[in-house]
Amino acid sequence: MGRNKLSNEEKTRALTLLKEGASVIRVAAEVNVTRMAIYNLKKAVESLPPGTVPPRKPGSGAPKKTSPRTDKIMRREVLNDPAITAAELKKKHPALLGNVSVRTIQHRLQISLKLPTRRAGKKPLLTEAMKKKRLSFCKRYRQWTPEQWKKVMFSDESTFRLVRMASTTVRRPSDVSRYHPKYTVKTVKHPDSVMVWGGFSGNKGRGGLYFLPKNVTMKGANYIEVLRDHLLVPYAIHECEVFMQDSAPAHRSKVVQKFLTDNNIPVLDWPGNSPDLNPIENAWNEMKKAIAKKRPTNINELKQALTKLWVEMDLSYFTKLATSMPKRIGMVIQYKGNMTKY
């Protein structure tokens, strides 16, 4: 037995067939609905302009399982706790949702209340002290212009892995095991990686890219070697006026501070756990995306690919990163020291 209700697509198809001269019986069979549904459709279009599809009647269909008050309560709960599940909502409000299925609650949240499930962004955990320091830093530098930020040498370390540890989908026949070698993703427990140090300015673009020795813990003495060989010359060539580094222990050591002072390089008092403020993080992320696509098979290929990517980044890209600082700072102030989208 056919259905009585037609979707908009089915209405359009049925009207096209009727216009072509097909009988009601044939159209009903083609669309898989009852003859009465087609008769009602024909009657509905008689008073409408040619080519118009009759809209769904207001109030037709099954009544909503939740009232406006219940919807309001659900919305408030989700806004207060974005991680709460439909099952938890049902359990928390048995009087309101006891007779409503979890699937209906999910549908109401996603469609009616415009609160779909999304993957949560990952950001470093900030203590109140960290938020306070971030806010203090941003208020101190909120008057800086893009031109001033272009004269900062931004720096950072980052790790690049040889094996991309990400989920991959494959198309596999249903009668073949998911563990057949052809349909598995090869992983290693401890993938090979390289750590790099790099710097850039908005004035002259990229500085050097240095591959740190493997299995060497970065301490003050090691870091001074990096700065001596890869910062001093670019800093002068780029006509920078201040140096940016994060608050890693090696960076804050007394020997490093003395080295920078002796070489007349002022340093920004950078707040800890603030990758969203450091624009070089965006460059690292772009490079990691590119490496994931290239899939180098050994460390030498990885280093070659990283060097090539770094060299190919032009001045306009780094200028854009440096001059984004006022927006980053403004957003941290707006968020009262909390993490931002950057």
pLDDT in tens, 45-78: 888 887 777 776 665 556 677 888 999 999 999 8
Instruction: Put residue 128 in one of left, alpha, beta given phi > 0 → left and psi -120 to 50 → alpha.
Output: alpha
What does the DSSP assignment read for 208-268?
EEEEPPTT----HHHHHHHHHHHTHHHHHHTT-SEEE----HHHHSHHHHHHHHHTT--B-
Distance of CA 312 to the CA centre of its chain: 24
Query: How far does the chain reach from its first CA to its final CA, in angstroms?
Result: 57
Cα 273 to Cα 285: distance, rounded to the nearest angstrom: 17
Cα 206 to Cα 204: distance, rounded to the nearest angstrom: 7
* Confidence (pLDDT) at 312: 94
Cα 219 to Cα 37: distance, rounded to the nearest angstrom: 79
Tokens of 48: 């409408």
> Structure pTM?
0.67
* Confidence (pLDDT) at 189: 56
Question: Does pLDDT of 83 surpass 90?
Answer: no
Cα 17 to Cα 42: distance, rounded to the nearest angstrom: 11
Which stretch of DSSP H or E encloses residue 193? strand 193-201
Contacts of 34 (CB under 8 A, 6+ apart): 1, 2, 3, 4, 28
Instruction: Kindly indicate the confidence band of residue 82, based on its pLDDT and cuts at 50, 70 and 90.
Output: confident
C-beta separation of 146 from 330 below 8 A: no
CA–CA–CA angle 86, 76, 134 (5° rounding): 105
Cα 78 to Cα 88: distance, rounded to the nearest angstrom: 11
C-alpha dihedral (168, 169, 172, 177), degrees to nearest 10: 50
Cα 342 to Cα 340: distance, rounded to the nearest angstrom: 6
* Confidence (pLDDT) at 168: 63
Question: Does pLDDT of 176 surpass 80?
Answer: no
Provide the percentage of residues in the chain whose pLDDT is more than 90. Answer: 54
